[in-house]
Amino acid sequence: MTTALTVRTENLSVRFAGVPALDRLDLRLAPGKIHGLLGRNGSGKSTLAAVLAGFCRPDEGRVLIEGGDLGTAQEPYENAVVTSRVCLIRESGDRPDAVQVKQAIGLAAALRPYWDADLAGDLLDRFEVPLNKKIQKLSRGKKSALGVVLGLASRAPLTIFDESYLGMDVPSRNLFYDALLADYTEVPRTFVLSTHLVSEVSAMLEEVVILDNGRLVTQSPVDSLRGRGASIVGPAAAVDKFTAGFTVLAEERLGGTKSTTILGDLDPALLAQATAAGLEIGPVGLQDLFVHLTGARS
Amino acid sequence: MFDDRSPIYLQIAEQIKNDIVTGALAEDEQVMSTNQYAAFYRINPATAAKGFAQLVDEGVLYKKRGIGMFVSPNARDLLRTGRRDSFFADVVDPMIREAKAIGIPLKDILQHIRTYGDA
Residue from the list A178, A222, A224 with its beta carbon closest to the beta carbon of B42 = A178
Shared domain check, A181 and A92: yes
Lowest mean pLDDT among A5-14, A237-246, B3-12, B93-102: B3-12
So what's the pLDDT on residue A44? Answer: 94
Residues A152, A123 contacting (CB under 8 angstroms)? yes
Could you tell me if residue A134 is inside a domain? Answer: yes
Q: For residue B102, what pLDDT band results from cuts at 50, 70 and 90?
A: very high
Q: For the complex shown, is ipTM > 0.90? A: no
Nearest CA-CA partner of B54 in B86, B18, B11: B11
pLDDT tens digits for B25-59?
A: 999 999 999 999 999 999 999 999 999 999 999 99
Percentage of chain B lying above the pLDDT 70 cut: 97
Nearest CA-CA partner of A149 in A97, A92, A197, A104: A104
Could you tell me if residue A152 is inside a domain? Answer: yes
Q: Do A181 and B45 touch (CB under 8 A)?
A: yes
pLDDT at B5 over 80: no
Nearest CA-CA partner of A3 in A84, A124, A104: A84
Distance CA A89, CA A100 (A): 18
What Cα–Cα distance (Å) separates residue B42 from each residue in A180, A204, A298, B1, B45?
10, 7, 38, 10, 9
Shared domain check, A131 and A35: yes
What Cα–Cα distance (Å) separates residue A112 from each residue in A86, A94, B33?
9, 16, 32
Question: Which residues does A161 contact at the CB level (< 8 Å), separation at least 6?
Answer: A89, A147, A148, A151, A191, A192, A193, A194
State the pairing for strand pair A207-212/A190-195.
unpaired
Distance CA A60, CA B4 (A): 37
CATH number of the domain that residue A14 is part of? 3.40.50.300
Name the residue in chain A with its Cα closest to that of B51: A223
Shared domain check, A144 and A124: yes
Shared domain check, A121 and A109: yes
Q: Do A203 and B5 touch (CB under 8 A)?
A: no
Name every chain B residue with its beta carbon within 8 A of the beta carbon of A265.
Answer: none
Q: Measure in Å the smallest separation between the Cα of B41 and chain A Cα atoms.
A: 9
For chain B, the domains span 8-73, 86-118
Which of the listed residues A190, A224, A258 is the one where a domain comes to its end? A224
CATH number at B8-73? 1.10.10.10
Could you tell me if residue A32 is inside a domain? Answer: yes
pLDDT truncated to tens, each residue of chain A (298 aa)? 468 999 999 999 999 998 999 999 999 999 999 999 998 888 999 999 999 999 999 999 999 999 988 888 999 999 999 999 999 999 877 777 889 999 999 999 999 999 999 999 999 999 999 999 999 999 999 999 999 999 999 999 999 999 887 889 999 999 999 999 999 999 999 999 998 888 888 889 999 999 999 999 989 998 888 777 888 999 999 999 999 888 888 888 888 899 998 887 777 788 888 888 888 888 787 878 888 888 755 4
Q: Domain of residue A285: give its range.
A: 227-294
Taking the alpha carbons at both ends of chain B, their separation in whole angstroms is 34
Shared domain check, A231 and A140: no
Which of the listed residues A224, A259, A283 is the one where a domain comes to its end? A224
Percentage of chain B lying above the pLDDT 90 cut: 71
Count Cβ–Cβ pairs < 8 Å, chain A vs chain B: 58
Nearest CA-CA partner of A7 in A49, A42, A55: A49
Shared domain check, A137 and A20: yes
Residue from the list A178, A206, A226 with its beta carbon closest to the beta carbon of B39 = A178
Total domains present in chain A: 2
So what's the pLDDT on residue A298? Answer: 40
Q: Measure in Å the smallest separation between the Cα of B12 and chain A Cα atoms.
A: 12
DSSP alpha helix (H) spans, chain A: 45-52, 80-83, 101-111, 117-127, 140-153, 170-186, 198-201, 222-225, 236-243, 268-276, 286-294
Could you tell me if residue A1 is inside a domain? Answer: no
Residue from the list A181, A283, A284 with its beta carbon closest to the beta carbon of B42 = A181
Which of the listed residues A192, A224, A256 is the one where a domain comes to its end? A224
Could you tell me if residue A129 is inside a domain? Answer: yes
Shared domain check, A249 and A108: no
**Average pLDDT score over residue span B104-115:** 92
